[in-house]
Each structure stands twice: as C-alpha cells, then as structure tokens.
C-alpha cells in the first residue's frame, strides 16, 4: 500500500468504527467510536480519512478549527502503511482545511518519547511551544511529558 494510491477525504459517520479501530492499533489509550462522534459534532470539527483503493481506511487526522487556532487532536497511519508519506499528506491536508476555515496556526500535543511523530512535525515546520510535564499517563508506566508544538499557516 503506497501513499499515491491512497485518497484523502472528509470522514463520514460510517468511517467512525474504522477510525476507532486504527486508534486501538496506534495508541495505548485509544478513544472509542462514541468519543470520536462527539469530536465530529463540535463546531469547526475537521475529520479527514485516508482510504486505499480497496476501500480500507489506512489513516486519519482529527481536530477542530475555531477562530485563529486549529488543534490537531489525533493523527495516525495504519502500521503497514507508515513511512510512505501518508502522515505528511494527512497533516498537510489538515492544515489546508484549517486555513480555509480561518485558522492562522495549528497546535498539537505529542508525547515527548514519540520520535516518529516529533520528527514528522518538525519536518513540516512545527516548533516547540511548551511542555506539559507528566501529561500522558499509561497505566503503571511512568508518566510521559507532552510537548506542545505549533506552526503558523501563513
């Protein structure tokens, strides 16, 4: 599955279960479909999905854009589709939609130990804007800091 074969479009209600399944594959504290549906109902919600030619969902980017600031809440690419440019494409599309809604910058939280994501954001021009010590709590494992990153859209 290579990125050029994949189409990115707005999410439909019928995509929510597959988004939740990809959350489960990608995060230790995944959201369920109901939580994603609540996000989808928020003002300025931006929900994008990447779909392979087979119809399989292989990535998503979720967030919202309110006023000058858009927040990227979650982004993931299916494990077998990673390192083919799809995460970068989803991020660029999210930024484009957010800009079309009037956002002037995108902000996000990323776990300090998430090297692939930190590198992806840095490669797309995001810079560190702050830290939230111990923000991510993963069961019995020691909490991990969140790094707040931001990028202007102009």
Give me the residues that bind ligand COA (CB under 6 A), please. Answer: 26, 75-77, 82-88, 110, 114-117, 119-120, 123
Which of 83, 140 has the CB closer to ligand COA? Answer: 83
- What number of CA atoms fall less than 13 Å from residue 77's CA on the CB side? 21
Which class for 148: exposed (0-12), middle (13-18), buried (19 or more C-beta within 10 A)? middle
Nearer to ligand COA, 76 or 102 (CB): 76
Q: Closest residue to ligand COA, Cβ-based?
A: 87
Comparing CB distances to ligand COA, the nearer of 26 and 101 is 26
Helices 33-40 and 16-26: crossing angle, nearest 10°? 120
Residues 6+ apart with CB under 8 A from 101: 44, 46, 65, 70
Least gap, CB of 38 to ligand COA (angstroms)? 19
CB of 114 to ligand COA, least distance (A): 5
CB of 70 to ligand COA, least distance (A): 15
Helices vs strands, H then E, count in the chain: 4, 7
Closer to ligand COA at the Cβ: 102 or 128?
Answer: 128
Instruction: Name the minimum Å distance from CB 6 to ligand COA.
Output: 10
């Amino acid at each position: 599955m290579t990125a050029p074969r994949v189409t990115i479009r707005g999410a439909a209600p019928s995509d929510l279960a597959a988004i939740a399944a990809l959350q489960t594959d990608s995060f230790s504290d995944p959201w369920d479909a109901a939580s994603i549906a609540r996000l989808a109902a928020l003002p300025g919600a931006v929900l994008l999905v990447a779909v392979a030619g087979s119809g399989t969902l292989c990535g998503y980017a979720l967030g919202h854009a309110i006023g000058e600031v858009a927040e990227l809440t979650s982004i993931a690419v299916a494990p077998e589709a990673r390192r083919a440019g799809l995460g970068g494409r989803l991020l660029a599309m999210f930024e484009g939609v957010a800009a079309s809604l009037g956002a002037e910058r995108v902000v996000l939280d990323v776990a300090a130990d998430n090297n692939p994501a930190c590198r992806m954001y840095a490669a797309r021009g995001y810079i560190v804007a702050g830290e939230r010590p111990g923000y991510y709590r993963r069961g019995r494992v020691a909490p991990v800091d969140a790094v707040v990153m931001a990028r202007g859209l102009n």
